[in-house]
Amino acid sequence: MTDSQSAKDSSKGSPSSPRAAAAAAKRRRLSAAAARVLHEQGVERTAIADIAKAADVPVGNVYYYFKTKDDLVEAALTEHAARLTALTDELDRLPDPRARLKALVHAWLSQRETAARYGCPTGTLAAELDKRTPGGLDHTAAQVIRRLLDWTTAQFHALGTADPDGNAVTLIAAYQGMSLLTNALRDPDLMTREGTRLLSWLDNVR
């Protein structure tokens, strides 16, 4: 997270003024648009103007909210991270960790059509960001993936499995892998089949 939010009030808490509220709304609109368009078109093939248009914000104005394109990419990832948080928060309400993991898989499956068209947002962004910042080690996409891994590890831990870390990697890798294959082959059913396998694996894992 950079200082690109300077001069605006933080995204948390109640806005200090209606003007600031409008600004925050615009910022959110841009983030959401960036999340969607960057996922659909890819980072390099997306011009700032594309995102501006999708968010219905004048091009010149984008730079008031995000100093660089990279900032917008980061915002898109933050958006995806927020959705992940919303999802895990939801899943955390389930009492059983096994049920949580299975619900996670179901959530993936519900997105299979999108995956067939555009792949997993976080996965594709991670791959693109890796090329985009040749030296940059720990980009935001990696962080989002790490958070997903951590949450998953925690579930396997709660489940009392022998190797929670390994299980988490296995599960998330399976997700990323089947997303990529589903996307490459444009076949949502592939994800259904592989998801079914994951569900029965989760039923038996220990």
Least Å distance between CB 14 and DNA?
Answer: 15
Q: Can you tell me which residue has the tokens 């709304």?
A: 25
How far is it, in rounded angstroms, from Cα 78 to Cα 11? 12
Helix (H) or strand (E) holding 162: none
Q: Which one-letter amino acid corresponds to residue 188?
A: P
109 is an interface residue for its own copies by CB under 8 A: no
53 is an interface residue for DNA by CB under 7 A: no
Q: Left, alpha or beta for 138 (phi > 0: left; psi -120 to 50: alpha)? A: beta
Taking CB within 5 to 8 Å according to partner kind, which of its own copies, DNA, none is near residue 126?
its own copies
136 is an interface residue for DNA by CB under 7 A: no
Compose the 152-171 pattern: x for residues touching its own copies by CB under 8 A, - for all others: --------------x--xx-
Taking CB within 5 to 8 Å according to partner kind, which of DNA, its own copies, none is near residue 170?
its own copies
7 is an interface residue for DNA by CB under 7 A: yes
How far is it, in rounded angstroms, from Cα 81 to Cα 87? 10
Taking CB within 5 to 8 Å according to partner kind, which of its own copies, DNA, none is near residue 202?
none
Neighbours of 146 (CB within 10 A): 12
| 142 close to 149: Cβ distance less than 8 angstroms | no
61 is an interface residue for DNA by CB under 7 A: yes
List interacting residues with DNA (CB under 7 A). 7-8, 18-20, 22-23, 26, 45-49, 57-65, 67-70
